[in-house]
Structure 1
Amino acid sequence: MSRFPLLRALGPLLDRRLWTLVLSIMLASGAQAETKTDSDAPEFVRVKKNAADRPVALQTAIANYQSKDGNLKIALVGAVHIGEDSYYQDLNKRFKTYDAVMYELVAPEGTRVPKGHKGTNSPVSGLQNGMKDMLELEFQLEKVDYSPENFVHADMSPEEFAKDMEERGDGLLHMFARAMGQGLVQQSKGGNSDAAIMMAMFSADRAKKLRRVFATQVSDMDTAMKAIEGENGSTIISQRNAKAFEVMSKSIKDGKKNIAVFYGAGHLEDMHDRLKKDFDMQLKSVEYLDAWKLD
């Protein structure tokens, strides 16, 4: 434990339902729930298994959409905020092929992220760095190159974020309570992941075993993200998505025809529905990238 001082602070969070919430927000990820509502979205995060049903990779999706006339192409590129160096290098190569890359970051409008950015002093950034060390992975902001001219900041400013939360009465405690309630339901469905986490933490191969534990709980993360949203949406997901699409619409009007939206995978089911309903786009293909190696 001494190698990871942040773990001492995270110790009380080892309860499964708390880890579900924390990881959901930190990684901004989530697979599709087993029972969907009215969305036909693909899985944006999934665990790939081999023939022996053993997890081998945590994967994120690139879902490609096209307008009916074929003149506009939009890719939803799912992200997890910590991952393999090779995963981020692959994304860097792919981003060069788009006219514009819409990216998430609650920051002042038009923010340009310097190459090799180390993150902020926020609690979430601190938790992400702690998870990076624990799982022996890399931090997205350090590895993704946001400096190219085709990168476009497409997220709320801190002032917009705070104002929207206040207007909606959408405080963190409210969202936490919703996720906690859902977590209690999920916890009753079986599986002693608390024991698995503790066993992994004291294993000689700690990082790999912890990756496996957390990767296999991805479906629980999606449940937590849905709980955070509530029936009327939330600032964290739906309202930020609306802002991203507002910025994207401006890029389309400026003549951009091949656009990537690079956002945490937990945002993408809502974005999928928006593309179909508001932009009359059709899903053409889905490709998966290995974000974490689990074997």
Structure 2
Amino acid sequence: MLAARAAETPEKTPEEKSSPTFLRIHEDASGAPQALQTAIVRYVDPKKPDAYVDLVGAVHIGEQAYYDQLNQEFKNYDALLYEIVAPKGTRIPKGGPKKNGSAVSGLQNGMKDLLGLEFQLEQVDYTPKNFVHADMSPAEMAADMEERGDGFLQMFARLMGAGLVQQTKGEDMNTAMLLALLADDRQVRMKRIFASQMDDMEGQMRAIEGKNGSTLISQRNAKAFEVLREELDAGKKKIGVFYGAGHFADMHRRLVEDFGMQPQSTRWLDAWDLTK
């Protein structure tokens, strides 16, 4: 059985235990969910206080206002490193890649309509000159996965073994989805269900990683930080790293251990409005 061979979720390293939170559900005083939020965490080397690296958390489906705010934030960086598994130097056209009739494209459009949200690749403007591709190419990713024996089946097995198959908190997922679909306020209920799953992103990513890392997270992060080192060495002072929030516990460790940086401040952006 796959689950029988799956690794348990590894213990956090000291650096991971001190890692900031990068994704959260913001609640009001009564405990009602208000927004799914992503963080912008600034890292500074005490020996070089004139330079900084911001980890800018991303969710790939979000509110229009969220992406509008990100587009403004990105203008402040000398270099904005971004993720997309694509050939080196890929530039995403404004409005995103051309749509196609694939099953993945159909699923994305269905999610967009169901939740009343927008897609990152369509709403973020990747065309400014300060945007820098910082991810694996498809060939690099395929080669690394083959070398590590690290397919999606193996990652799913690690999730199973760690007991992190997504479930709503204290409620059967299928029942919660059915009740939401039948409700008058369907979109807000669905957003709250999906937000509750994303709120445990750190645990899910650590399970995917296993004890020896994974192509999906640690190896892509290593590639991104090769580019980060190049940008710092080139004299860039204000750098943003725009990646999915699930990548950031490992990136935090790398910034602390390999770059001598420490988190200095955190700001929160509302990615999903959970009130309407």
TM-score of the aligned structures, taking structure 1 as reference length: 0.83
Give the match for residue 151 of structure 1.
131
Alpha-carbon distance in structure 2 between the residues aligned to 1:126 and 1:226: 29
The yes-or-no answer on 1:99 pairing with 2:99 is no
Q: Distance in 1 between matches of 2:76 and 2:165?
A: 44
Task: Give the Cα–Cα distance (whole angstroms) in 2 for the partners of residues 100 and 126 of structure 1.
Answer: 33
Paired letter, 1:116: G
Q: Report the Cα distance in structure 1 between the residues aligned to 2:98 and 2:272, rounded to whole angstroms.
A: 20
1:114: how far off?
0.4
Which residue does 1:12 correspond to in 2?
A: none
Quick check: 2:22–2:39 contact (8 Å CA) kept in 1? yes
Question: What letter matches 1:293 in structure 2?
Answer: D
The alignment status of 1:112 with 2:62, answered yes or no, reads no
Cross-structure match for 2:27: 49
Residues 98-150 of structure 1: CA distance to partner in whole angstroms, max 9, x if unpaired? 00000000000000000001466565555333322210100000000000000
Distance 1:185 1:80, change over 3 A: closer
Render the CA deviation track for 1:177-218: whole Å, top value 9, x for unaligned: 111233467769843333111111122221111001111222
Structure 2 runs not aligned, ≥5 long:
1-8
The match for 2:217 among 233, 237, 242 is: 237
- The CA deviation at 1:261 is 0.1
Q: State the match for 1:253 in structure 2.
A: 233
Residue pairs, 1:252-291, within 5 angstroms: 252-291=232-271
1:67 aligns with 2:45: yes
Aligned partner letter, 2:33 = P
TM-superposed CA distance for 1:238, in Å, is: 0.2
CA RMSD of aligned residues (A): 2.1
AA in 2 matched with 1:79: A
Q: How many pairs are equivalent?
A: 262
Is the Cα–Cα contact under 8 Å of residues 168 and 197 in structure 2 kept in the other structure? no
2:115 and 2:232 map into 1 onto residues whose CA distance is: 39
Of stretches 67-76 and 123-132 in structure 1, the one that deviates more from structure 2 is: 123-132
My pick for the range that moved more, 109-118 or 159-168, is 109-118
Within-5 A mapping of 1:89-238: 89-118=68-97, 124=104, 126-183=106-163, 190-238=170-218
Compared CA separation, residues 124 and 179, structure 1 to 2 (3 A): farther
User: 1:143-189 CA distances to partner (integer Å, 9 max, x unpaired)?
Assistant: 00000000000000000000000000001111111112334677698
SS at match of 2:93: coil
Residues 204 and 185 of structure 1: is their aligned pair in 2 closer, same or farther, counting only changes over 3 Å? closer
Give the Cα–Cα distance (whole angstroms) in 1 for the partners of residues 106 and 253 of structure 2.
Answer: 32
Conserved 8 A contact 2:79-2:236: yes
TM-superposed deviation, 1:219:
3.5
- In the TM superposition, what is the alpha-carbon distance from 1:237 to its structure 2 partner? 0.3
Aligned residue for 1:42, secondary structure, equals: coil
Aligned-residue identity in percent: 59
Q: 1: distance between equivalents of 2:189 and 2:234?
A: 47
The answer to whether the 8 Å contact 1:65/1:281 transfers is yes
SS of 2:157's partner is: helix
User: Aligned residue for 2:5?
Assistant: none
Measure, in 1, the Cα distance between the counterparts of 2:106 and 2:207: 24
Greater CA drift, 211-220 or 254-263? 211-220
What is the CA–CA distance in structure 2 between the aligned matches of 1:203 and 1:188, rounded to whole Å? 17
Q: Distance in 2 between matches of 1:188 and 1:251?
A: 41
Task: Tell me the secondary structure at the aligned position of residue 216 of structure 1.
Answer: helix
Per the normalisation by structure 2, the TM-score is 0.89
Q: Secondary structure at the match of 1:71?
A: strand
